[in-house]
Structure 1
């Protein structure tokens, strides 16, 4: 079995991005759920521009990708990224964050794009 490796500089870039608690939590949530920026705004109780900035950094690095569904832009982990195996290895050591989306759903704030 071949182990995927990435350059040290790229690994440092990913670790720096994920060194921010908000971005790390976002990526952990995206590991099992696709989300809209407005859901992250509710989860983190922070402004839409601040959340958009976090998402843009993750997207620019190729860690997340976006898909348009009608008026919504939905973010998900970029499983085709060279960083994905590395990111997965990190995420498996973190506690599940799905409860945050469950709480949103309970408050009627989970986005339904269907």
Structure 2
């Protein structure tokens, strides 16, 4: 039980960061390439990658590589205590729809 409380505390500390919480809100909408995340948030690619790495290490996001692009998606299992948080995040759909990702050029999406 103590380990579970420690894990929950660490996850909540990780999400207390505005940037990481914004990334989670984006990934709640759909899977995104790191270039989409940088375009939407205005952060640098190394900065976005660092935040995504922390989220991945905590088991909150999945990573999949397709060609030269790395896509990230939100993990919604294994941490049911985060589901209410995810459901409370504001929609980022308009911000996502406003950006034409660099990795989508020439692809049928």
Q: TM-score, normalised to structure 1's length? A: 0.81
Aligned pairs (5 A) from 1:31-110:
31-80=28-77, 82-83=78-79, 85-104=80-99, 108-109=100-101
Taking structure 2 as the reference length, the TM-score comes to 0.85
CA displacement, residues 69-88 of structure 1 (integer Å, 9 cap, x when unaligned): 122111001234x22x2222
Preserved CA contact (<8 Å) 1:41 1:47: yes
Unaligned runs of 5+ in 1: 1-5
Contact 1:40 1:51 in 2 (8 A): yes
| Runs of 4+ deviating beyond 4 Å | none
2:27: which partner in 1? 30
Query: Which one of the candidate residues 5, 9, 14 is aligned to 2:6?
Result: 9
**Secondary structure at 2:29 match in 1:** coil
Structure 2 gaps, min length 5 = none
**What is the number of equivalent residue pairs in this alignment?**
104
8 Å contact 2:35–2:102 — kept in the other structure?
no
Structure 2 residue matching 1:31: 3-state secondary structure:
helix
C-alpha contact (below 8 Å) 1:23/1:54 kept by paired residues: yes
